[in-house]
């Protein structure tokens, strides 16, 4: 059976909601309705949604509590819930999922936040600092100090919830009145609500329309009519009862074990680069005890030790899984880095924007197709000609291309150190991990001499290569890369943007202009080579000749080995027991229905975040959030088709489907 990742989803532009005020309250001309009752919005939301779902009492003792909402709108319900959590918190995390087909733009959201009461306005300012551009997909915002996450699902509510993996404890069924917004209130939506709600989960809504009540009851909710708020006659509350008809929409190889019990929340993370340190932080924020091991003398000893790297989405005209994942990952990475820096860890960085230059006819045609088909907001992408590119760059250029205003550079080694310090994780260095040994309910991490270095119920492979003997058939491939470093000169110090072409060059960083980098498949050498330095200089001179007007810099860069995998995406998730995996799915090529197959046989407690290639700064923070959510049992920050695209055994699944 084909999966969602076999074909690209394509780009679906959103139509943002224009901010209109009527009598001082937000008004939606599209649906001819108010976002909340004038003058009584906060009181109505507190009664109709929060109190009606038994909050805050219901979240008091749980490890996590998840609220789902249809219609984020102005964000008022979220801010009220967050504010209540701050004053009367639960023991674990509050996760808030909210759909929105017509989100406000950041400037309009800023106007709305500015009109809030002082107490909520402070939270609104924190929301604004992370609020995303109106682009379809999942957008996770994390507020670690309060143990709160917000996942915005921009797009059609039914479609976005169909790709959601979560257990929702309480629903706020908002959105506009059913008579004005009939496209929201339908049986397909109610089925998704039921799929995501465990028995005993609740819902509340301002509406008591008969077809809404009947639809929710048919989906498995027991609905009760309640007195309405203010002038409204009735509203409803509901409780989810047993749902034998509920269907697991995941393919069998995505049916992983549930999150770890409290007693098992100790993890050994192998690798202290970007992947390992970001995973350590994501787990520690959830209360895990983490030990990080590395073969080097300290963090970022490998490819993560480069003096600067780029955060930028890898866009494509068809907006397939690579384009979608890296677009979401790049935005998440900046939010993540700011949260690390806010803890007092200095991280040199500059979100200066990048110019993706049309370096050659093939790349020019590709960029033209992206500009024509990918209708991103101008705050994310702009088409520019050569004079516009030169003006943006601050240096002479003869090529146009695409301007990506939200790209930038970061010092990856500083980020690794900051993540490790923020995680308060133990670091064990100089250990060459050779294998794992299972004893009882724990794994022993063994060094090259077979000695146990650390023991933990959960292990994360984050060392690029992985442990090949542990996962035969899951391959990571070495890619040597050499970059150069050039001291700023009068002809280069005016550069204001990153230039991307067949290579890249940064504006002046603390180390200088960083440029490169080569890609040599299968090579694990880390020596500096004159030939690769010359190639980097040649590529740079082709797009920016003035950069070398004072002569070519010496070969004083850095070489390292990255690892990638088939499909140009990292490998993120549980590691299968490959012998059992092969046996379970040997006949996938027959195309039988998924219920013919067992759940994925996995190595208990072993996970991976591997093969990030040259995009580790962009992809590792979101990969860490995916992994920690899986391990802890939290709602996932990505739709299931993207989680499947990251699957550690995705290439083997593809081969098994095609086996003759």
Determine what percent of the chain is predicted with pLDDT higher than 90.
82
| Interval 532-577: pLDDT, tens | 999 999 999 999 999 998 888 888 899 999 999 999 999 999 999 9
Residue 7, pLDDT > 60, answer no
For residues 518 and 481, what is the distance between their CA atoms, to the nearest angstrom?
5
Q: What is the pLDDT of residue 29?
A: 86
Question: Structural domains in the chain?
Answer: 11-240 (3.40.50.150), 252-302+424-476+569-658 (3.50.50.60), 354-405+477-564 (3.30.9.10)
Lowest mean pLDDT among 23-27, 190-194, 352-356: 23-27
Residue 365, pLDDT > 90, answer yes
In three-state secondary structure terms, 325 is helix
Residue 629, pLDDT > 80, answer yes
Q: Which two tokens stand for residue 69?
A: 């909402």
Which comes out higher in pLDDT, residue 23 or 55?
A: 55
pLDDT average, residue stretch 573-591: 92
Q: What is the pLDDT of residue 246?
A: 56
Residue 289, pLDDT > 70, answer yes
Of 419, 451, 424, the closest CA to residue 435 belongs to: 451
Q: What is the pLDDT of residue 212?
A: 96
pTM of the full structure: 0.96
In three-state secondary structure terms, 31 is coil
Strands 202-205 and 170-173: parallel
Q: What is the pLDDT of residue 76?
A: 95
**Mean pLDDT of the chain, nearest integer:** 93
Q: What is the pLDDT of residue 61?
A: 86
| Interval 68-91: pLDDT, tens | 999 999 999 999 999 999 999 999
| Interval 112-163: pLDDT, tens | 998 888 889 999 999 999 999 999 999 999 999 999 999 999 999 999 999 9
Q: Which residue has the tokens 């690794």?
A: 416
> In the beta sheet, which residues pair with residue 410?
309, 349
Neighbour tally for 274: CB within 10 Å: 35
Neighbour tally for 193: CB within 10 Å: 25
For residues 287 and 233, what is the distance between their CA atoms, to the nearest angstrom?
45
For residues 387 and 67, what is the distance between their CA atoms, to the nearest angstrom?
49
Q: What is the pLDDT of residue 6?
A: 36
pLDDT average, residue stretch 410-422: 97
Helix axes 412-423, 274-284, angle to 10 degrees: 30
Q: What is the pLDDT of residue 417?
A: 97
Q: What is the pLDDT of residue 247?
A: 66
Distances from the Cα of 204 to the Cα of 78, 512, 627, 645, angstroms: 15, 57, 31, 35
In three-state secondary structure terms, 134 is coil
Q: What is the pLDDT of residue 660?
A: 66
Of 108, 48, 35, the closest CA to residue 76 belongs to: 35
Determine what percent of the chain is predicted with pLDDT higher than 70.
97
């Amino acid at each position: 059976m084909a999966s969602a990742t076999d074909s690209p989803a394509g780009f679906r532009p959103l139509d943002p909601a224009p901010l209109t005020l009527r009598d001082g309250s937000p008004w939606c001309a599209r649906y001819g309705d108010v976002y909340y009752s004038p003058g009584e919005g906060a009181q109505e939301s507190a009664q109709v949604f929060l109190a009606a779902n038994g909050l805050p009492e219901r979240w008091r003792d749980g490890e996590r509590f998840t609220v789902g909402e249809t219609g984020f709108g102005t964000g008022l319900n979220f801010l009220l819930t967050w504010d209540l959590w701050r004053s009367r918190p639960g023991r674990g995390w509050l996760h808030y999922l909210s759909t929105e087909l017509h989100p406000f733009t950041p400037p309009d959201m800023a106007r709305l936040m500015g009109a809030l009461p002082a107490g909520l306005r402070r939270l609104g300012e924190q929301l604004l600092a992370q609020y995303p551009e109106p682009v379809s997909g999942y957008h996770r915002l994390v507020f670690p100090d309060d143990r709160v996450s917000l996942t915005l699902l921009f797009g059609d509510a039914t479609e976005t919830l169909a790709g959601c993996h979560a257990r929702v404890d309480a629903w706020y069924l908002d959105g506009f009145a059913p008579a004005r917004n009939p496209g929201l209130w339908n049986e397909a939506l109610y089925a998704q609500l039921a799929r995501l709600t465990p028995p005993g989960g609740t819902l509340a809504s301002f509406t008591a329309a008969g077809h809404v009540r009947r639809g929710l009851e048919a989906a498995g909710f027991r609905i009760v009519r309640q007195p309405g708020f203010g002038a409204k006659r009735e509203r409803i509350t509901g409780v989810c009862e047993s749902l034998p008809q509920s269907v697991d929409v995941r393919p069998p190889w995505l049916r992983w074990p549930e999150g770890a019990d409290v007693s098992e929340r100790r993890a050994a993370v192998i690798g202290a680069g970007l992947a390992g340190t970001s995973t350590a932080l994501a787990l520690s924020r959830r209360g895990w005890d983490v030990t990080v091991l590395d073969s080097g003398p300290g963090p970022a000893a490998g490819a993560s030790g480069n003096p600067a790297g780029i955060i930028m989405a890898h866009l494509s005209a068809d907006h397939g899984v690579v384009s979608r994942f890296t677009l979401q990952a790049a935005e998440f990475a900046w939010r993540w880095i700011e949260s690390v820096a806010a803890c007092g860890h200095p991280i040199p960085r500059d979100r200066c924007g990048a110019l993706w230059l049309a370096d050659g006819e093939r790349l020019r045609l590709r960029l033209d197709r992206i500009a024509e088909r990918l209708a991103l907001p101008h705050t994310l992408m702009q088409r520019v000609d050569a004079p516009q590119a030169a003006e943006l760059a601050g240096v002479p250029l003869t090529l146009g291309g695409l301007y990506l205003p939200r790209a930038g550079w970061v010092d990856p080694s500083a980020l690794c150190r900051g993540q490790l310090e923020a995680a308060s994780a133990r670091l064990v260095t100089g250990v060459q991990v050779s294998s794992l040994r299972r004893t009882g309910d724990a794994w022993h991490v063994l060094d090259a001499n077979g000695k146990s270095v650390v023991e933990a119920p959960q292990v994360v492979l984050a060392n690029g290569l992985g442990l090949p003997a542990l996962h035969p058939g899951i391959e990571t491939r070495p890619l040597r890369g050499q970059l150069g470093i050039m001291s700023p000169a009068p002809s280069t110090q005016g550069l204001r943007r990153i230039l991307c072409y067949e290579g890249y060059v940064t504006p002046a960083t603390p180390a200088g202009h960083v440029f490169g980098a080569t890609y040599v498949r299968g090579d694990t050498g880390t020596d500096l080579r004159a030939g690769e330095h010359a190639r980097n200089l040649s590529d740079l001179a082709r797009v920016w000749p003035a950069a070398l007007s004072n002569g070519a810099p010496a070969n004083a860069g850095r070489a390292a080995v990255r690892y990638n995998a088939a499909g140009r995406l990292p490998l993120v998730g549980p590691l299968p027991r490959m012998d059992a995996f092969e046996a379970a799915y040997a006949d996938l090529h027959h195309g039988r229905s998924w219920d013919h197959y067992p759940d994925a046989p996995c190595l208990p407690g072993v996970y991976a975040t591997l093969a990030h290639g040259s995009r580790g700064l962009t992809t590792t923070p979101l990969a860490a959030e995916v992994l920690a959510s899986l391990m802890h049992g939290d709602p996932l920050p990505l739709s299931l088709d993207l989680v499947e695209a990251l699957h550690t055994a995705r290439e083997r699944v593809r081969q098994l489907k095609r086996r003759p």
